[in-house]
Amino acid sequence: MSLDIDTPTSRRRSIGSRYSTFMSRRASLMPTLAAILILVVLLIAAQGQFGNFLSPRNLSALLLDNAYLVVLAVGLTFVILTGGIDLSVGSVMAFTGILAASLLSQGLPTWIVIPVALAAGGVIGWLIGVLVHVFDVQPFIASLAGLFLARGLAYVVSLASIRVEDEPLLWLQRTRWTIGDWYITPTGVIALATVLIAFFVLHWTRFGRTVYAIGGGEQSARLMGLKVARTKVMVYVISGVCGGLAGVLLTAYSGAGYPRNGIGTELDAIAAVVIGGTLLTGGTGYVLGSLVGVLVYGTIKKVISFMGAEQSWTQIIIGALLLLVIIVQRIIVARSAARRR
């Protein structure tokens, strides 16, 4: 008969064992937790510097000013989880935005225009997905073709800005629901609803499990009998539909459609997804992390604005932060792989 004696050494070993077990089982959470930590540090530092940064109105605006980017990041999360990439989302957003503004100016009702915009984005996404899966074109090249196609179509619709006078569409941004000093608009509600729907699909449906499985290893997913072909095409369709929805939200936000909207926005969305903890190699990441990544991006932009500095500093800081996050991700992945051996 033996007795287990609780000593400081045994307690330290027990804590270390629990930590190692947690890291091996939940390593995928670490990049997202790191993104949350970055966001908290940014908010606390900004509050310390400016004194009124954490005001309810300022934090409410943080989400609403970036609602379209949240929707783009959600769509990109699906694609990146499979190990792909979609460079077309900014151009799709511009095309569907100017298309919606043009159709509304011609007198078409909002309940027709919005589905048409979503469908237009979905069609471009479907074309990219077909190129990637059926013709085995690299996602970078296929989505680059989609980028030029969508941007060209935007210029075909109109070379100039088209002002929106449609009340139902403008209602999405002008309406504010308040709780004390906090407020939210329908565009913000749509963005959050998109995140929640994507979270449910990725974590509670067979389609979502297939998305993760493809990112973990496409050949293994095929051997498991999963519907790889349909899923690979569908993630680009989802990204395209999200691009269409983002175009509608941006048009409601700005009150106009413009064919040059969204230039470089695809890079902002990709950066937000990666900062939020989704690995570019696929198979690991969370859509809630992408939301955090957008909030980090928006916070940095707002801090730069508060400082009165050039907005070019936003790109510099995001680039440095993105490099740091990728390095941290590589370290976490390498340590996790070492523990499994």
Q: What is residue 5's predicted lDDT score, i.e. its pLDDT?
A: 52
How confident is residue 22, by pLDDT bands cut at 50, 70 and 90?
very low
Reported confidence tier of residue 11, pLDDT bands at 50, 70, 90? low
Domain that holds residue 216: 67-290
pLDDT at 340: 56
| Ranges 156-165, 260-269, 329-338: which has the least confidence | 329-338
Query: What pLDDT was estimated at residue 26?
Result: 61
CB 139 within 8 A of CB 281: no
178 domain residue, yes or no: yes
Count of domains forming the chain: 1
Indicate whether 238 belongs to any domain.
yes
Average predicted confidence (pLDDT) for the chain: 89
**Higher-confidence residue: 320 or 78?**
78
Distances (CA, A) of 113 to 71, 107, 147: 19, 10, 22
More confident: 27 or 218: 218
Prediction pTM value: 0.90
Q: Is residue 25 part of a domain?
A: no
The mean per-residue pLDDT over the stretch 252-260 comes to 95
Q: Could you tell me if residue 3 is inside a domain?
A: no
Q: Do 242 and 120 form a contact (C-beta atoms < 8 A)?
A: no
pLDDT over threshold 80, residue 23: no
What is the pLDDT, as a whole number, of residue 324? 82
Does a structural domain hold residue 10?
Answer: no
Q: What angle do CA 79, 81, 85 make, to 5 degrees?
A: 40
Is residue 27 domain-resident? no
Mean pLDDT of 3-9: 54
pLDDT at 326: 79
Q: What is the pLDDT of residue 1?
A: 46
In a domain, 143, yes or no: yes
Spatial separation of the C-alpha atoms in residues 336 and 331, rounded to whole Å: 9
Please check whether residue 319 lies inside any domain of the structure.
no
> Does the pLDDT at position 186 exceed 90?
yes
Residue 305 pLDDT grade (very low, low, confident, very high; cuts 50, 70, 90): confident
